Amino acid sequence: MHYTVGQIAEALGVTAEGDQSLEVSGVSEPQTASASQIALAMKPEFASRIGDGQARVAMLWNGADWRGMGLSAALMAPRPRFALSGLSGMMDLGQGYGDGIHPSAFVDETAEIGEGVSIGPMSVVMAGARIGAGSVVGPQCFVGQDVVLGTEALLHTGVKLMARVRIGARFVAHPGAVVGGDGFSFVTPEPSGVEKARASLGEEGNETAQPWARIASLGAVTVGDDVEMGCNACIDRGTVRDTQVGNGVKMDNLVQIGHNVVIGDDTMVCAGGAVAGSSVLGRNVVVGGCAGISDNLKIGDRVILGGGTMVLSNVPEGRVMLGYPAMKMDSHVESYKGLRRLPRLFRDVADLKKAVSKLTSND
C-alpha cells in the first residue's frame, strides 16, 4: 500500500511540511529507514539517527527543524506517539486471512453469520452462535454454543469463545486467548486450611487432608465494545452471574481475569497481570505487568498499580500503588530507600558498639 505525505496528514489530522506528494509504503526506525519509508523520529534522540538511514520523510514533534535533518517532508504532531496509533493502522499489512467461509470450517446450520464475515480453516462455529457483520474468525478458532460476537471483530488464530459468551463490537483477540473457561472454584467438606489461615492470619493451617469438590460455573462472560485481549489471555466465566468486562478494556499477553470479576471501562491490564475472583475494578485503572489483585477487593477509578504490585486490600480511587503488599508509591519508595541504607546502618551500629565497648573497658 502506498500513501502520499498529504494523504497521511489528512487521515491523521496532523501537519504536513515540505513535499506532500512524496509517496511512502511503510515505517521504520530512523537509522534503518529506506527512501520509501517514514522514519519514526518522535524524540530528538531518535531524530539524531536520521542521517544514518535514507529516509526522506519523518514523523516528528511540532517545531522540529526537519530541513536541518536533510528531509524532503515531515509529519508534525503535538503528540507523535498518539499519531503513530493511526499511522500504524494505515500501514498494517494484516495476517492474510481470506474472505468468506473456508471449506474446512464447520459452521452449524443454526448459527447466524453476518454479512462479510470471514471464517478461516479448521474453525468451528457451534449451534445458535451469532457473528456480527464484517468480523474475521481466523484459522482454528472456536465459537461456542449461543455465543454472540459483535460487528467487525477480529479473532486471531486459535481463539476460543466458550458457550453463551456475549461480546460487543470491534473485539480483538490475539492467538490463544480464551473467553469463558470455567472459574477456578473448589470447596472442601469442612473449612479448609486456606480458610483457617485467612481467618487466623496464618496461626492456623491445614490439619487434615481433604478432597476438593468442583463448583460448576453457571454464569458466562459479558464483554463490551472495543475490547482487546493479548496472546493466551483468559477471562473465566462467572459462578452464577456473568464476569463483566467494560468498554475499551485492553489486556496484554498472559492476563488472567477470574470468575465474577467486574472491570470498568478503559481499564488496562498489562502482561502477566492477574485479578482474582469477585474483585471489582473501576474505570481507567492500570494494572502493571505481573501485578496481582486478591479476591473480593474493590479498586477505585484511575488507580495505577506499578509492575509486580500485589494488592491485598481495597484501594481508593486515584491512588498510585507499588510493592508487596501494595502501598502508596511514595511510601514504598521511601521504604526502599531505607532498605538500601540498612547495610550502612548496621556498619555504623557495629562501629558504635566497638567505641562504647572501648570506653567501658577503659573505665
Which residues carry out catalysis?
Answer: 259
Beta-bridged to residue 250, according to DSSP, are: 228, 268
Looking from the CA of 179 toward its CB, the CA atoms found within 13 Å total 36
- Residues near 236 by Cβ (< 8 Å), separated by ≥ 6? 180, 181, 182, 183, 184, 217, 221, 243, 256, 257, 258, 259, 261, 277
* 327 CB-near residues (< 8 Å, 6+ apart): 321, 335
Work out whether strand 310-311 and strand 327-328 pair parallel, antiparallel, or are unpaired.
unpaired
Q: What is the DSSP letter of 210?
A: -
Beta bridge partners of 149: 131, 167
Distances 86 to 13, 74, 82 between C-alpha atoms, Å: 10, 16, 7
Instruction: Return the residue matching grid coordinates 536533510.
Output: 70
Q: How far apart, in whole angstroms, are the C-alpha atoms of residue 288 and residue 307? A: 4
Q: How many residues comprise the chain?
A: 363
Rounded CA-CA distance 260/185 in Å is 11
Rounded distance, CA 296 to CA 313, Å?
Answer: 9
Amino acid at residue number 36 = S
Q: Residue written as cell 479448521?
A: 122
What are the cell numbers at 285? Answer: 485503572
Beta bridge partners of 286: 268, 304
Q: Scan for cell 516528528, then name that residue.
A: 60
Q: Is residue 303 classed exposed, middle or buried when 0-12, 13-18 and 19+ CB atoms within 10 A define those classes?
A: buried
